[in-house]
Every structure is written in C-alpha cells, then in structure tokens.
C-alpha cells in the first residue's frame, strides 16, 4: 500500500465542488483512509491567506502578480508540510481541491513568467507531483454564467455577480493554460468534459481514479 495524491482543477463554475463531494463521499463509503482539503485554505495559516487573497479587492490596492504568487506558495508550503506529506507518508488517499496547476494557470495568465513558477515550484514541491489530476474542462463563457446564477441565488448584488469582458478573457486564458498542461502531461492529467450531466462526469472521474487506487493496493470492490 502507498499513499495516493489526487488533485481536482478547473475554472470557476466547472463543478469542482460538486465532484469533490461526490468522490470523497464514494471513497468514505468504501471506508478508505482519506484526507480531503483545498488550496488556498487547507491549514490555519492557509485560511488566513485565503481570506487575504479572496478579499484583496476590498482594500482598493492593486497587488502585483508576484505578491499574490508568493501568498499562494506560502499556503502550499504550509499545506504540504503539515498535511499533504504526512498523510501520504501514512499511506492515505489525499484529495485536494486545486493545487500547483491552478498557480500555473491563474498566475501564468496574470503574467508571471514560467521560469519564476519553475523556481518556486522546485523550492516548495521538491519534486512531489499528484499521481492524478482531474481537470474539469468547460468554456468559461458557460461556467461563469453558472457562477453568476449561483451568486444571484445567494442574494449578492447584481453588479457583484456579473463578469465583464476583461474577466471573461482572463478566464479563457486560464482555461487554455489548463488545457496546455493536460496536453503536455496526459498520463497525470485526466481531461474531463465538465458540461456533461453531473453523474456522467462523476463516472468519468471514477474510471480514472479506480485503477489508480487498485494499483496502489486499496480494496475498492
Ligand atoms: P476556489 O474558490 O475554487 O477555492 O478558488 C479560489 C481562487 O483562487 C480561484 O479564483 C483560483 C485562485 N487560485 C489562484 O489564482 N492560484 C492558485 O494557486 C490557487 C490554488 C487558486
């Protein structure tokens, strides 16, 4: 038996949270040793950083891309050290909502150079890579509409729920970066069309997860 590291990635509104929940519930029903977490925000420090990162516009100050980048890596370093590496060493299944590929896609789309990402990645990850990354792929035009509808349902102001053309363009670049990662590392990244019905997406994910767990020695039948 060995630890298995799985990450789920995708643009906002691609159904990540739903599929995280479905996969983690399935693994729990099978009584498998599971750790579920997310980035940013998987540790106490991470929750502070997440609050800072997600409320960054509240202060009105524009952050430079490098400041933001370092906060995401601070979150990741703490997460790896205190949660991910120990859980893998205890031969658990570690399921994380967003990881390194999000930084590559989002901060890359914000203009951070590939070489800077490589250097920080080497410092923080020290060669650790997920065994499997599920990439839920969807056109941001559609996924952001879903976020808008969700935000309206949550009672947010109309003006806060609309994505303008510049944001849409940013998310298109994020998606393209995710797709390029998947193309470059087809063995690690499972590209799953996320427009399909929820059950179909769940089944497609399980088709990739099940053999991985079997190979690692987990009983899933
Ligand atoms: P979430 O709401 O899906 O948890 O995502 C949090 C936001 O943080 C989302 O807009 C993506 C962004 N993000 C980055 O820009 N870089 C990163 O490295 C990570 C993990 C998230």
What pTM was computed for the model? 0.94
CA of 40 to the centre of ligand 1 (A): 6
- Residue 125, both tokens: 């990850």
Separation of alpha carbons 127 and 167, rounded Å = 33
Residue 174 belongs to a domain with what CATH number? 3.40.50.300
> Cis bond leading into 12, ω under 30°?
no
Give the pLDDT confidence score for residue 160 in this predicted structure. 61
Domains contained in the chain, number: 1
Q: Which domain holds residue 138?
A: 4-215
pLDDT tens for 49-100 read 999 888 876 677 888 889 999 999 999 999 999 999 999 999 999 999 999 9
CA of 172 to the centre of ligand 1 (A): 15
221 in a structural domain: no
220 in a structural domain: no
φ and ψ at residue 168, rounded to 5 degrees: -60, -40
Separation of alpha carbons 210 and 48, rounded Å = 35
pLDDT tens for 88-109 read 999 999 999 999 999 999 999 9
22 in a structural domain: yes
- For residue 93, the SS3 value is strand
pLDDT tens for 160-206 read 666 788 889 999 999 999 999 999 999 999 999 999 999 999 999 99
């Amino acid at each position: 038996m060995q630890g298995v590291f799985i990450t789920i990635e995708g643009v906002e509104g691609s159904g990540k949270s739903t599929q995280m929940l479905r996969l983690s519930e399935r693994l729990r029903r099978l009584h498998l040793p599971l750790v579920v977490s997310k980035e940013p925000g998987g540790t106490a420090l991470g929750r502070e950083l997440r609050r800072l990162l997600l409320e960054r516009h509240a202060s009105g100050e524009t952050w430079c891309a490098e400041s933001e980048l370092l906060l995401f890596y601070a979150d990741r370093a703490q997460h790896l050290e205190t949660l991910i590496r120990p859980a893998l060493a205890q031969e658990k299944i570690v399921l994380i909502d967003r990881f390194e590929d999000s930084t590559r896609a989002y901060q890359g789309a914000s203009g951070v150079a590939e070489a800077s990402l490589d250097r920080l990645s080497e410092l923080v990850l020290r060669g650790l890579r997920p065994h499997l990354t599920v990439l839920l792929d969807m056109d941001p035009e559609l996924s952001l509409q879903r976020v808008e509808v969700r935000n309206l349902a949550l009672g947010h102001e109309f003006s806060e729920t609309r994505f303008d053309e510049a944001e849409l363009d940013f998310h298109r670049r994020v998606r393209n970066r995710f797709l390029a990662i998947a193309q470059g590392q087809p063995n690690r990244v499972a590209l799953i069309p996320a427009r399909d019905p929820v059950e179909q997406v769940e089944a497609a994910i399980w088709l990739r997860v099940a053999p991985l767990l079997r190979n690692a020695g987990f009983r899933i039948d």
